[in-house]
Chains A and B, each alone.
Chain A
Amino acid sequence: MNALRRYIDKIKPNVEKGGKFHFLKSTFEGFETFLFVPNTVTTTGSHIRDAFDMKRAMIMVVIAMVPALLFGMWNTGYQHFLALGQEVGLWENFWFGFLRVLPIIVVSYVTGLGIEFVFAQIRGHEINEGFLVSGMLIPLVMPVDVPLWMVAVATAFAVIIGKEVFGGTGMNILNPALTARAFLFFAYPTKMSGDRIWIAGLDKGMETVDGYSGSTALAQAAQNNDVLVNGIGDPLTTWDKFMGMIPGSIGETSTLAILIGAFILILTGVGSWKIIVSVFAGGAVMGLIMNAFGGNALMEMPFWEHLILGGFAFGAVFMATDPVSGAQTEKGKWIYGFLIGVLAILIRVFNPGYPEGVMLAILLMNVFAPLIDHYIMEGNIRRRLKRAKVQA
């Protein structure tokens, strides 16, 4: 450890101003601070500081995503072998999925971090840790068969147009990971929806068992099927839906794994429990309203099923809670979350083209979050004006 520190101190002058590799300063600092928490001491204001920093905050979110990631890897293998009609063990399923998912993660991180490094260098800033989370979120909301070049293009689009043009992490209006997902959805719709993209290999003409369908549960419900089935036609139990042994984006299927993540986020205080709870509440309320009217399979679907199918839980826990693009006032968080839940189910039920509404609901509310905050703060300002004697 000391030897490493000495080595870093030795090469550091090269990246300082006037050094040969000054153009790599941000990159160097990024790696240095990854290895060592810097020796900076406080100079103004409070002499002591909380030990919590952005790196740790972001790493906590990544840790919270690990259960969903691991389950997603296993499920990739499970769905693949189910389509083939083969039965294999736990590890074989996982290993297959691991090999399919890993390249997506690598592409997402390399593209995104590369761009971040370049922008940080141009601006002369330190590398911001925000992409550590986005870089993991992007793979988790992709269908497993997505071409890698698409991942790279979407990531680049999300980081540059979704984030850097606004000034970088902390300044963006939309959630970068959802921007990537939405970009692909609208730019390459055939690759992002349908029955064949959710299972590894299916799109490439893999031999499947007879009568196999890779459609997601929501797609079946949108076609007014009353009984939701898995790929080989067996009815799905509530347990299957909750555990996530269904087709879908890599990380979104298992409500259980996502809830473990939610537990980590809420326990550490990194994610807002208010947003998570209110998204679920909004979804449940809208689901109940739909149930009251009825009419088709999606409207008659019990409200709690809406919450465990599709990307609802994933969106509620990992996407809506993004502190930058979400509402920032505590009261605003309740409204913001609730409306995401309501809109997600509304879009899901009434959008004829695509049976999923969470992505669009969150992006829409990302846009409205500043408005919500504005009205909450106006209330505060009005209270202050009311008690003032001198008029402003």
Chain B
Amino acid sequence: MSEVIKIRRGLDIKLKGRADKIFTKAPRSRTYAVKPVDFHALTPKIVAKPCEEVKAGSVIFYDKYRPEIKYTSPVSGIVKTIERGERRRIVSVVIEADGKDTAETFRKGDPAAMSREEVVENLLESGLWPVIMQRPYGVVAFPSDVPKAIFISGFDTAPLAPDYDFIMKDMEKEFQAGIDVLRSLTDGKVHLGLDARYPAAKAYTGAKNVERHYFSGPHPAGNVGIQIHKISPINKGEKVWTVKPQDVVTIGRLFMTGKYDPSMIVSLCGSEVKKPLYYKLIRGAEVSSITQDNIVTDNVRIISGNVLTGKTISEDGHIGFSDAQVTVIPEGDYYEMFGWILPGLKKFSVSRTFLSWLTPGKEYRLDTNLHGGERAFVMTGEYEKVLPMDIYPVALLKAIIVEDIDKMEQLGIYEVLEEDLALCEFVCTSKTPVQSILRGGLKMLRKELE
């Protein structure tokens, strides 16, 4: 094993409801959705009209400003509805599955035998290109770019995160095929971050043409952003790409079979889930296919993703594009008398102002209460304790708030995305909306520079 990179700063939030390591086949979902809102800076242009028949891999919409990037249907069926939100913005396109599983055919074969253009073409046509994220900005990669390197984090340390060593079992061939595809897209290396604390899955340890890096420490050690920062930080003008492990597998499958087969494994977890398990399902499935009759209480929040960065979805909503986790936690819309002075044995805090710090191993049932009101920045040193990067987060956020683009660049905005600063938001005494401020800054920067 190569050198282990030790992450010291960070925080593991111990929540109740970790998924048991059992695979279950989820009942077939009735409908599936492709959601433009899962991607930043995407303006969709609809191709498939309602009631039109589609196959798995048929184009549903493309990006208005980058028409070569297409988004395709995960299943065969008919387009049922196009849901719109505020200002008629398209929120999701819902497809009713017909159960026939017909699929478009794409090119298959060894990526080494294809030119880079052909590989890119195949990914774009099949609708798999959007699994490739670009940093900085956290947007879908530009097909014309050649990235400095491609990074894959092979594990996840977020609260109740799925265990990728378990998910990636028996995925050796597909994973390797996916790696080979990615390999042909960059002149640099393909980096794979692994958890040093547990023996990694065979798909990881056996993979060729990747550079493995081992990390140990609390969350956010598993965030690809932290790993990039430790391996080779992003400088001004540089671009790197990131892909999630299950998406690597899907890419591999495309080149092995010539079909867009977005089946994936999603863990259902959280304190309000009766039986937290791992489910095999297809990307964009209805969340109710796994949560039906499986939730303890009524007043809950269903999150596609983890509790720090995920998106709230409704009971009849659909799981997000690349989310390998659905978390269900109680809503916190209650008043608490004198809550600011009570000893707080059931409350979780990084500060030791609640007696719960005396029971370090305890698992918590945390809810969505904000626990106070929003204030100006007062406390210092809080963010730094949970951000293992050579970055001054408060100074960066202040630069964003005053819209000082130069300062943002100087303070390292290119190196971070919302998920990396999510813990800062969690611990903030002033309840500062860190993630949305950062996204605002990234948007501003992109507008200014591109």
- Tell whether, in the assembled complex, residue A377 and residue B411 are in contact, meaning their CB atoms are under 8 Å apart: yes
CB contacts (< 8 Å) of A4 on chain B: these are: 337
Q: Name the distance in Å between B415's Cβ and chain A's nearest Cβ.
A: 9
- Find the A residue at minimum CB distance from B306: A47
- Tell whether, in the assembled complex, residue B336 and residue A48 are in contact, meaning their CB atoms are under 8 Å apart: no
- Tell whether, in the assembled complex, residue A324 and residue B378 are in contact, meaning their CB atoms are under 8 Å apart: yes
- Find the A residue at minimum CB distance from B422: A46
Q: Name the distance in Å between A37's Cβ and chain B's nearest Cβ.
A: 3
CB contacts (< 8 Å) of B348 on chain A: these are: 50-51
CB contacts (< 8 Å) of B380 on chain A: these are: 272, 323, 326, 328
Interface size bracket, B side = 35 or more
- Find the B residue at minimum CB distance from A130: B378
Q: Which of B238, B329, B340, B395 has the most CB of A within 10 A?
A: B340
Pick the residue among A45, A324, A380 that contacts B435 (CB under 8 A): A45
CB contacts (< 8 Å) of B235 on chain A: these are: 384, 387-390
Q: Name the distance in Å between A329's Cβ and chain B's nearest Cβ.
A: 7
CB contacts (< 8 Å) of B307 on chain A: these are: 46-48
Stretch touching chain A among B149-157, B210-218, B365-373: B365-373
- Tell whether, in the assembled complex, residue A48 and residue B352 are in contact, meaning their CB atoms are under 8 Å apart: no
Supposing A5-B335, A37-B339, A328-B380 touch, asked if A48 and B410 sit within 8 A by C-beta, the answer is no
Q: Is the CB of A270 closer than 8 A to any CB of chain B?
A: yes
- Tell whether, in the assembled complex, residue B340 and residue A37 are in contact, meaning their CB atoms are under 8 Å apart: yes
- Inter-chain contact total with CB atoms closer than 8 Å: 214
- Find the B residue at minimum CB distance from A45: B435
A37 to B291: give the CA distance in the assembly, Å: 31
- Find the A residue at minimum CB distance from B334: A39
A321 to B308: give the CA distance in the assembly, Å: 30
A54 to B371: give the CA distance in the assembly, Å: 10
- Tell whether, in the assembled complex, residue B339 and residue A45 are in contact, meaning their CB atoms are under 8 Å apart: no
Pick the residue among A45, A129, A170, A388 that contacts B425 (CB under 8 A): A45
Supposing A37-B335, A323-B379 touch, asked if A60 and B353 sit within 8 A by C-beta, the answer is yes
In A296-348, which residues have CB < 8 Å from any B CB?
A: 323-324, 326, 328-330, 333
Pick the residue among B13, B312, B418, B431 that contacts A48 (CB under 8 A): B13
Pick the residue among B340, B350, B378 that contacts A170 (CB under 8 A): B378
Q: Is the CB of A211 closer than 8 A to any CB of chain B?
A: no
- Find the B residue at minimum CB distance from A388: B235
Q: Name the distance in Å between A9's Cβ and chain B's nearest Cβ.
A: 9
Q: Name the distance in Å between A127's Cβ and chain B's nearest Cβ.
A: 9
Per-residue B-contact encoding for A11-36, CB less than 8 Å = 1, 0 else: 00000000000000000000001011
- Tell whether, in the assembled complex, residue B341 and residue A56 are in contact, meaning their CB atoms are under 8 Å apart: yes
Q: Is the CB of A122 closer than 8 A to any CB of chain B?
A: no
A127 to B340: give the CA distance in the assembly, Å: 15
CB contacts (< 8 Å) of B334 on chain A: these are: 39
Q: Name the distance in Å between A262's Cβ and chain B's nearest Cβ.
A: 15
Supposing A41-B333, A41-B368, A48-B367 touch, asked if A169 and B435 sit within 8 A by C-beta, the answer is no
Q: Is the CB of A201 closer than 8 A to any CB of chain B?
A: no
CB contacts (< 8 Å) of B332 on chain A: these are: 39, 41
Q: Is the CB of B121 closer than 8 A to any CB of chain A?
A: no
Pick the residue among B13, B372, B391 that contacts A53 (CB under 8 A): B372
Per-residue A-contact encoding for B61-84, CB less than 8 Å = 1, 0 else: 000000000000000000000000
In A36-69, which residues have CB < 8 Å from any B CB?
A: 36-42, 44-57, 59-60
A36 to B341: give the CA distance in the assembly, Å: 11
Q: Is the CB of B354 closer than 8 A to any CB of chain A?
A: yes
A49 to B418: give the CA distance in the assembly, Å: 15
Per-residue A-contact encoding for B352-393, CB less than 8 Å = 1, 0 else: 111000000000001111111111111111001000001110
A283 to B371: give the CA distance in the assembly, Å: 40
Q: Is the CB of A268 closer than 8 A to any CB of chain B?
A: yes
- Find the B residue at minimum CB distance from A269: B351
CB contacts (< 8 Å) of B394 on chain A: these are: 328
Q: Is the CB of A164 closer than 8 A to any CB of chain B?
A: no
Q: Name the distance in Å between A189's Cβ and chain B's nearest Cβ.
A: 33
- Tell whether, in the assembled complex, residue B436 and residue A44 are in contact, meaning their CB atoms are under 8 Å apart: yes
Pick the residue among A48, A329, A384 that contacts B412 (CB under 8 A): A384
- Tell whether, in the assembled complex, residue A53 and residue B377 are in contact, meaning their CB atoms are under 8 Å apart: no
Q: Which of A52, A56, A324 has the most CB of B within 10 A?
A: A52
18 contacts between A and B (CB under 8 A): A47-B301, A48-B13, A48-B308, A51-B344, A54-B378, A57-B353, A59-B340, A129-B375, A168-B376, A169-B376, A267-B352, A269-B351, A329-B392, A377-B411, A387-B235, A389-B235, A392-B406, A392-B409
Q: List chain A positions with a Cβ less than 8 A from chain B.
A: 1, 4-5, 33, 35-42, 44-57, 59-60, 126, 128-130, 167-171, 267-270, 272, 323-324, 326, 328-330, 333, 373, 377, 380-381, 383-385, 387-390, 392
Q: List chain B positions with a Cβ less than 8 A from chain A.
A: 13, 159, 233, 235-238, 301, 303, 307-310, 312, 327, 329, 331-341, 344, 347-354, 366-381, 384, 390-392, 394-395, 406, 409-412, 418, 422-423, 425-431, 433-436
9 closest A-B pairs by CB: A53-B372, A170-B376, A37-B339, A390-B237, A45-B435, A51-B347, A388-B235, A55-B340, A36-B335
Known contacts A52-B351, A390-B238; can you find 4 more A-B pairs with CB under 8 A?
A48-B159, A52-B349, A268-B353, A381-B410
